[in-house]
Amino acid sequence: MPDVVIVDYGAGNLRSVARAVAHAGVDATVTADPRAIEGARALIVPGVGAAADTMANLRSGGLVEPIREYIASGRPFLGVCMGMQALFEVSEEGGEHECLGVLGGRIVRFPQGLTVPHMGWNTVHLPTPHPVFEGVPQDSYFYFVHSYHAQPADPAVVVGATEYEGVTFPAAVGRGNLLATQFHPEKSGVDGLRLYANFLRLALEHGSIAPATTTA
């Protein structure tokens, strides 16, 4: 069973994510096999597109329970873009769509009047340091493409925040060994590649990506 698994559920940005992982010198397996998820030491769930399609694909692929159980086991997890939004309870995109419910809260649309999607480079501010962001300067730029954003029930899960046209929203969320980003680190240059490298190094060498003080 492979150590590092990138979940393939028909998401579309797999090659870029796989490339970023390879750049970190790590061998990853891109797969839709639930058994690979069960046996992984580091799991990455990428994704672009809409919540409804994402959840439909995860369900039809039999991936919902394996992903939930993996996260519940406390092993290192990285979610990217839709891989972050799917973690919450409900997404308002295209209706009311039930998601994985791993994190409390909703995915909501940017308010009327803002230019959507939020598409471009924007800065991410960390309220406190996080090991996966080690070596990335405060307020660095990352690349975003999304029309909806997370509204977590627990503000303590916010690892990084970004402001877009007056709205501040979570750019990254985390709890224990789970980290997820709204932006695409695989499209965010050197800082994004560092994020992948940190995640993988911490996961594979230490089995932990969590900050030193955590209650989760």
Partner 1 sequence: MDIIPAVDIRGGRCVRLTQGDYARETVFEEDPVAAARRWADLGARRIHVVDLDGAKGGKPVNDAIVRAIAASMPCPVQTGGGIRDIETFRSMVAGGLDRIAMGTAAVKDRALLRAIVAEAAPHLIVSVDARDGRVALEGWTEATDLDATDFIRELTDLGVQRVVFTDISRDGVAGSPNFEAYERLTRETSMAVVAAGGVSRVDDLRRLAECGVEGAIVGRALYTGDVDLREALEVLA
Q: Does 114 bind partner 1 (CB under 8 A)?
A: no
Catalytic residue, from 134, 146, 186, 205: name it.
Answer: 186
Q: Does 117 bind partner 1 (CB under 8 A)?
A: yes
Cα radius of gyration rounded to whole Å, the chain: 16
Q: 117 preceded by cis ω (within 30°)?
A: yes
Q: Does 12 bind partner 1 (CB under 8 A)?
A: yes
Query: What is the smallest separation between the CB atom of 25 and partner 1, expressed in angstroms?
Result: 15
Q: At 199, give phi and psi (nearest 5°).
A: -55, -50
Q: Helix axis angle, 189-201 relative to 14-23, nearest 10°?
A: 70
Q: Which two tokens stand for residue 191?
A: 């800082």
**Residue of 2, 61, 189, 211 that binds partner 1 (CB under 8 A):** 189
Catalytic residue, from 81, 93, 146, 149: name it.
Answer: 81
Q: Does 52 bind partner 1 (CB under 8 A)?
A: no
Q: Which amino acid is present at 155?
A: P
Is-catalytic flag, 99?
no
Q: Does 125 bind partner 1 (CB under 8 A)?
A: no
Burial class (CB in 10 A: 0-12, 13-18, 19+), 115: exposed
Q: At 60, give phi and psi (nearest 5°).
A: -65, -25
**CB atoms < 10 A from the CB of 78, how many?**
29
Query: What is the smallest separation between the CB atom of 92 and partner 1, expressed in angstroms?
Result: 20
Q: Pick the stretch among 60-68, 169-177, 184-192, 208-216 that binds partner 1 (CB under 8 A).
A: 184-192
Neighbouring residues of 36: CB distance < 8 A, sequence distance ≥ 6: 1, 2, 5, 29
Q: Does 50 bind partner 1 (CB under 8 A)?
A: no
Catalytic residue, from 146, 184, 205, 206: name it.
Answer: 184
Q: Angle at CA 193, nearest 5°, toward 191 and 198?
A: 90
Q: At 151, give phi and psi (nearest 5°).
A: -130, 85
**Residue of 8, 187, 209, 210 that binds partner 1 (CB under 8 A):** 187
Q: Nearer Cβ to partner 1, position 75 or 184? A: 184
Q: Nearer Cβ to partner 1, position 174 or 192? A: 192
Q: Provide the annotated active-site residues.
A: 81, 184, 186
Which residues of this protein are in contact with partner 1, per CB under 8 A? 12-13, 15-16, 19-20, 23, 117, 119, 121, 141, 143, 145, 186-190, 192-193
